Chain A
C-alpha cells in the first residue's frame, strides 16, 4: 500500500499540506485509503458504512491536520480516526435497529404483519466471523492483527487500559475460534448478530 509512492515521506507530505498544498494531501490519501477502508469495513462489517467512514476520516484528518503529532505514524493517526468513526456508526445503527424493532413489535401487537426487511447484502465468510464479536473485541482484533497497531495505541483509541485491550484480544480470539468451529450461520441471522447489543 505504501509502496506506490516511494518518494516523499509521510512527514514531508504532511508539512506540504500544512503549508497549503492540497495535492500533497491527495497523495497521502492515495497511500492510506486501502488501509482505512479495510479497517472501516472490518469494524462495521458493512460496505456502505465503511465508505462513509473512509470519506469522513480523510475529510476530518484534513481539517484537523494541525492536531497530528509527527512523532507517530500518520497511518495510525488515520486508523484511530477511522476506528472512532466506525464505532460511532455502529452505535447509531444499533439505535436505529432498536427503534425499528420497537416499531415492528408494536405493529405485531396491533395485528399487522411486519413488513419484510430488505435482505442483508450477502456477506463473505470473514464478515460473518467478525460480525459475531462484540464491537470493541472486533476493533481490537482488527487494529492489532490486520493493521499491526501496538497495544498502547489501541488502548488510546478504545479509551481503555492496556490490560483490558489484552483481555479483549484474548477473549475475541477465543470467541472467533468457537465461531469458526461452529456450522455456518443462517444468512438472515448473521446481520442481526453483526450489530451487537453489548
Chain B
C-alpha cells in the first residue's frame, strides 16, 4: 500500500465499506507512514476511538423521577392499556385526560409531552389543562367577540340616538299626552347595520376597518332619509287636552323593526 492508496481509500475505510483485508493494510500503512499519519491520523483516531463520555451524576435519578411523575402517566399508552384492561396506570391517565377535556383530542406528540419544547428542564404540571384552555379559547373566542361586538354596536347606536335624534323623527309611542315629552326615544340603529358589523367581526374583521364604517353610515343615512317623508300622520303638537291618536302599540324593544320596514318601503 502506498500513500496515494490512503488518499483513495480513506473515505471508503471510514464509511466501513472496505473489505477487512484492505482495511487492515490501510491501518498498517497509517501507523507506519509519518506523512499519512500527519494527514489523517487525528481524524481517524477521533472517529474510530472517540473519547468516552461520562453520564452526569444524578441524571439517571432525574429520568426515573420523570417517568414516575404523574405527567408520565398521562401517556396515551397508559390510557390505551387501561382501555384494554391491562394497565392500572391508565385509570389515572384517563382521569387526567378527562379532567383536562382532552380524552378525545388529537394525540399529537407535542400536546401530550409536558415540557416538550426543549426549554423546560422538567416536565411541568398543568400542561394538559393549559392545552385544554387554549383549545376552548380557540373554539369560543370568535363567537364571544361577535356577540360582544353586536352588543357594543347596539349600545352605541342606542346611546347616540338618545343624544342626537331630532324631535320630528320621533314616533309617537305613547297614547298618554302628558307623558309624551318624557317617553323614551326610539332606537335608530337598524338591524341591517348591526348585522353587517357583526358579520364583519365574525369573519375575522375587515381588511380595511373603514369599509364597514362607511357601509354603516350609508345604511344609516338611507334609514334616516326614509323618515324625512312623513309615512305616519305627523304628530301634531298636542295640547294639554287633546289626545293624539295611538300610532303604534308596540313595546319599545321592537321599535327598530318598523324603522327598517319603512326604509325598505314595506
Contact = CB atoms under 8 A, between A and B. Distances in A.
Nearest to A125: B51
A187 B155 CA distance: 67
A25 interface: yes
A30 B67 CA distance: 13
Given A22-B68, A29-B67, A64-B77, A56 B86 contact: no
Interface in B54-113: 55-56, 59-60, 62-64, 66-68, 71-72, 75-77, 80-81, 86-89, 109, 112-113
Contacts of B66: 55, 58-59
Residues of B contacting A: mostly: helix
B116 A177 contact: no
Interface centre among B46, B75, B76, B88 (most CB of A within 10 A): B46
Interface centre among A30, A37, A47, A59 (most CB of B within 10 A): A59
Contacts of B39: 177
Given A34-B53, A180-B43, A56 B118 contact: yes
Contacts of A59: 63, 66-67, 71-72, 113, 123
Interface in A51-74: 51-56, 58-60, 62-66
A121 to B, nearest CB: 13
Given A37-B55, A60-B113, A145 B63 contact: no
Given A33-B55, A37-B59, A124-B51, A89 B76 contact: no
A62 B48 contact: no
Nearest to B45: A180
Contacts of A41: 53
A62 B75 contact: yes
B42 interface: yes
A173 B14 contact: yes
A63 B77 contact: yes
B76 A51 contact: no
Given A173-B43, A176-B43, A180-B43, A29 B64 contact: yes
Interface of B: 11, 14-15, 39-40, 42-43, 46-48, 50-51, 53, 55-56, 59-60, 62-64, 66-68, 71-72, 75-77, 80-81, 86-89, 109, 112-113, 115-123
What range describes how many residues of A lie at the interface?
A: 35 or more
A113 B66 CA distance: 42
A126 B11 contact: no
A124 B54 CA distance: 13
Interface string A119-160: 000001010010000000000010001100000000000000
A79 interface: no
Nearest to A86: B118
B118 A47 contact: no
Contacts of B62: 51, 55
Given A56-B113, A88-B117, 9 more contacts: A29-B63, A33-B59, A37-B55, A38-B53, A52-B118, A64-B75, A92-B119, A166-B15, A180-B42
25 contacts: A19-B81, A20-B81, A20-B88, A22-B68, A30-B60, A33-B55, A33-B59, A33-B63, A34-B55, A37-B59, A38-B53, A42-B53, A53-B118, A59-B71, A63-B112, A64-B109, A92-B118, A129-B46, A145-B47, A173-B11, A173-B14, A173-B43, A176-B46, A177-B39, A180-B43
Contact of B59 (A54, A62, A88, A146): A54
A126 B77 contact: no
A37 B55 CA distance: 7
Interface string A88-99: 110010000000
Contacts of B86: 19-20
A26 B121 CA distance: 20
B146 to A, nearest CB: 35
A141 B15 CA distance: 10
Contacts of A177: 39-40, 43
